Chains A and B, each alone.
Chain A
């Protein structure tokens, strides 16, 4: 099956700083790379995703970069705000299968 590693497990940044979370995966055939945000007591929600035919995608303060050769992709959050505090999960499908294996999560804390 797909092996997904996510780092760091916890990340504390000051408001206004940038945050970067990285995921590595094992299956070179994987073609879809989403990131989910889960606030305390809430359901996970998709914040951004990227497909294997592009290297970078941006949505306001959030971006995802993909390196297919090295088999890793990263979430970048700029100008962090307290409401960015949450657990972030990457996910990868095993090959082109229509199911997702999730990373272990990164707890992001944005301090004032």
Chain B
């Protein structure tokens, strides 16, 4: 079934560790996004990509980085995790519609806790 997959679902790590949150989609979408969301709260865009080798920073300043080497894969990396990074990270994708915007499809998220 075409979907967007995120791993791990939950992650608890110590301060200073390097981590990569994985996101893959089998929907054939060109556009992919990373949002940060505290439970039940507003979603903040931290990174997005319109295609392979295209990445942009979002509205929320983030110490993370992303890469887009393959259409289906959009990992997010934190070089040195801090307690302030504790949050839920949601990956999303959308197709390149003729009207510019089309619906976002979200993954189940990674709930990150930095101790």
Contacts and interface: CB of A to CB of B under 8 A. Distances in A.
B100 A43 contact: no
B114 interface: no
B81 interface: no
Given A87-B40, A105-B40, A98 B45 contact: no
A101 interface: yes
Contacts of B99: 31-32, 51
B87 interface: no
Contact of A102 (B42, B94, B103, B109): B42
A98 B32 CA distance: 10
A104 B106 CA distance: 18
Contacts of B109: 43
Interface residues of B, number: 26
B1 interface: no
Interface in A55-112: 87, 89, 91, 93, 96-105, 107
B74 interface: no
Given A44-B43, A105-B42, A99 B100 contact: no
What 6 A-B pairs come out closest when comparing CB atoms? A32-B101, A43-B106, A102-B43, A46-B103, A104-B42, A96-B100
30 contacts: A1-B59, A31-B99, A31-B100, A31-B101, A32-B99, A32-B101, A34-B103, A38-B40, A42-B108, A43-B90, A43-B106, A44-B104, A46-B103, A49-B103, A51-B99, A87-B40, A91-B104, A93-B101, A96-B101, A98-B31, A98-B96, A99-B33, A99-B58, A100-B45, A100-B101, A101-B45, A102-B42, A102-B44, A104-B41, A105-B40
Interface of B: 31, 33, 35, 40-45, 48, 50, 58-59, 90, 94, 96, 99-101, 103-109
